[in-house]
Structure 1
């Protein structure tokens, strides 16, 4: 197994499972330097250590991530996180949480094991067929049609929420095309 600096590994020392971080790998002699704490370092043969399997991060919606952050800042526990009866939870979070027991379990797993925020799908608004038929919005809010190339001053990829929030957003939404679909054609 190939190790690199920063890998989290485990090994047995005096019948105790020790977890440490690799600080240096010496493949020539087959040893690794491990830091277990500020005061504790170990040197082990490569074959005596195994990589710690990190749990895969759970993807949660932005509002769920905001709720977890809110609860951690207030030093709430898991029970408070899931208590939707007597809390300052947003309506969106409340609806999502009560809609499914799976969502409650997902939120609890995210709290315990860590999470990442779901990436919202992005869309182009293609009002006219052809290379210059895409909605472009400048930083100053001016809208016009051009190519789908996005720059720091020009936005061409939007979330559903951004499209629907625009003036004429309901109409624009009918012309929304997932970025992945268009990029796949290129």
Structure 2
């Protein structure tokens, strides 16, 4: 029995005795058109392995390396590994740390594709009696703690951990102590 695929699925396809990863763009019965415009029978397809999840800063390093290496994944990987092992030149220590702790995932991400981890977001909730106050960002330099009912739609009210800690460092505050994780889809 063959697997049922739909348009948009990532698949493994056997071509010239090699396994390649591609995406289905059109389906006609049991024949599929792939992103590279080739047509393949369903018996030559298998589900692609799940994409590796990487943090945003690792994604940025991979994209930069691919750009400088004309999208050649092997050359990009070589350059990234040289940066990691020889020069240790990552701007962010967390990129080097992530590579050290997830080496096989890193190689898979560069060579086979990846998706970006959704970073948890937080609200800064300060309870004042029975009212809730939130930290709102009017722009990147102006932050105010205001009652939730006074919120303006354009004000930012969700922050990543890094953003909150940067605000704490820059303004000498301790908002991280009041951070409450926002559930996905929460308003």
TM-score interval for Structure 1 and Structure 2 normalised by the shorter chain: 0.5 to 0.7
Work out whether residues 88 and 96 of structure 2, in 8 Å CA contact, stay in contact via their aligned partners in 1. Answer: no
Unmatched tracts of structure 1, length 5 or more: 26-30
1:82 is matched with which residue?
81
Deviation for aligned residue 1:143: 0.9
| Pairs aligned (count) | 169
Structure that is richer in helix per residue: 2
Q: Sort the Cα spacing of 1:153 and 1:12 in 2 relative to 1 into closer, same or farther, 3 A.
A: closer
What TM-score comes out, normalization by structure 1 length?
Answer: 0.67
Work out the CA distance in 1 between the residues paired with 2:63 and 2:13: 34
Structure 2 residues without counterparts, runs of 5 or longer: 70-74
Pairwise CA distance, 1:113: 1.4
Could you say which residue in structure 2 is the equivalent of 1:153? 154
Structure 1 segments of 4+ aligned residues over 6 angstroms from their partners: 8-13, 15-20, 148-151
Once superposed, what is the RMSD of the aligned Cα atoms? 3.9
SS at match of 1:125: strand
Structure 1 residues 170 and 52: alpha-carbon distance in aligned structure 2, compared to 1, 3 A threshold: farther
Matching of residue 54 in structure 1 with residue 48 in structure 2: yes
Find out whether 1:65 has 2:63 as its counterpart: no
Distance 1:32 1:152, change over 3 A: farther
Q: Does 1:133 align with 2:133?
A: yes
- 1:108-123 matches, cutoff 5 A: 108-123=107-122
